[in-house]
Amino acid sequence: MKRGPLPVGVVGVGSLGRHHARLYATVPGARLVGVFDPRVRRAAEIAARAGATAYGSLDRLLDDVEAVSVVVPASAHREVGLAAITRGRHVLIEKPLAADLAEAEELVAAAERAGVVLQAGHVERFNGAVRGALRFLASPRHLDFHRAAPHRGRGGDVCVVRDLMIHDLDLALWLAGGPVDAVEASIDGPEAPLPDAVRARVVFESGAVAHFRASRCGHSRERRVRILQESGGLSLDLASGTGEFLRVRPRSGVAPGEGAFHPSDSADRIRIESSAAEPLALELESFVRSVRTGQPPAVSGRDGLSALSLAFSVLEAAGASAVQPV
């Protein structure tokens, strides 16, 4: 266990990085030292709000911290991540872990050699609805994910699969337990310059089947998950962090555990409640705790690599032209 607050920094303070800076200032066991962004005025503004220092270079920030959040475009994850790792700094890298698999593998290998924490920024694992649902999960058989958002520029250096769908791919790998047996996918709209609407079907070796729909062509934001298993069905609204579990009452003459849940079955409706804590705050607390205690991160670099690998499998199944890395 490290003594004293962990000195941390944020690299990249755009629409998401600014929240890393804001929340690090409140995370127990952490001390936000500063931020770095090549946009000098932006860095100064965010640093002032968080009571930290705006650094003029990445090297100078790394001199003064032990851990950093890397919240730059995916095309720069490898460069910034390796700069921190080779200096012996612990890193949380926002999703996707890297622009392509080779870069992601390089980051994971470098962190393992250096003996530092590499956490992948898959924040939906800390969503209140997901955390509240965990106690009801028991061998999911069918999972359905729907995610939509207007295209507002952030994440535009990667396609919708590596920008939005990858959140749900990570959740499916985690909840269904992998490994993957088969992948089918299709592009649901214009592909130039990168596909903005994709649907996929993933079959796991366990027999579980997951369906995914992701779109950056939506008029509003949607993040919904439905899970069916023998004991009932879960319906989660990740946007609000709420949900419910329909716990099945066995049909007459059917022993518990036989057959599969069907919506027409009699069921007890159980509301899933969660705390008001921001998922990103919980993610940062988890990262800091891992660094301070030496415990494995909640979402490891290898988890991030697995999600990215499945994302590329989806793109390959959808069509070779969609696979080109940035």
Residue 315: per-residue pLDDT: 94
Q: Are residues 42 and 76 in the same domain?
A: yes
Where on the phi/psi map is residue 177: left (φ > 0), alpha (ψ -120 to 50), or beta? left
Angle (CA) 243-304-241 rounded to 5° is: 15
DSSP, collapsed to helix, strand or coil, labels residue 257 as coil
Count structural domains, the chain.
2
Q: Are residues 153 and 110 in the same domain?
A: no
Residue 265: per-residue pLDDT: 58
Q: Tell me whether the omega of the peptide bond preceding residue 96 falls within 30 degrees of 0, making it cis.
A: yes
Sign of CA dihedral 54, 58, 64, 69: positive
Question: Which residue, 276, 204, 263, 272, is CA-closest to 228?
Answer: 263
* Cα Rg of the chain, angstroms: 20
Q: Are residues 134 and 118 in the same domain?
A: no
Q: Are residues 179 and 119 in the same domain?
A: no
In a domain, 305, yes or no: no
pLDDT tens readout for residues 256-281: 445 555 555 577 899 997 777 899 99
Residues 140, 228: contact at Cβ < 8 Å? yes
Residue 236: per-residue pLDDT: 97
We report the CATH number of the domain holding residue 115 as 3.40.50.720
In a domain, 304, yes or no: no
Greatest Cα pair distance, the chain, in angstroms, is 72
**Structural domain for 239, as ranges:** 127-275+310-323
In a domain, 120, yes or no: yes
Question: Which residue, 101, 317, 304, 82, is CA-closest to 195?
Answer: 317
Q: Are residues 114 and 132 in the same domain?
A: no
Q: Are residues 101 and 241 in the same domain?
A: no
In a domain, 115, yes or no: yes
In a domain, 154, yes or no: yes
Q: Are residues 264 and 138 in the same domain?
A: yes
Using 70 as the pLDDT threshold, list the residues of the chain that sit under it: 1-2, 151-157, 189-193, 250-265, 320-326
Residues 205 and 168: their CA atoms lie apart, in Å, by 18
In a domain, 1, yes or no: no
Q: Are residues 108 and 231 in the same domain?
A: no
Q: Are residues 184 and 137 in the same domain?
A: yes
Question: Which residue, 274, 298, 276, is CA-closest to 286?
Answer: 298
Q: Are residues 69 and 144 in the same domain?
A: no
Per-residue 3-state assignment (H helix, E strand, C coil) for 265-303: CCEEEEEECCCCCCHHHHHHHHHHHHHHHCCCCCCEHHH
Q: Are residues 118 and 153 in the same domain?
A: no
Residue 1: per-residue pLDDT: 60
Q: Are residues 140 and 259 in the same domain?
A: yes
In a domain, 172, yes or no: yes
In a domain, 303, yes or no: no
Give the strand pairing for 197-204 and 209-215.
Answer: antiparallel
pLDDT tens readout for residues 104-162: 999 999 999 999 999 999 999 999 999 999 999 999 999 999 999 886 654 456 789 99
We report the CATH number of the domain holding residue 217 as 3.30.360.10
DSSP, collapsed to helix, strand or coil, labels residue 93 as strand
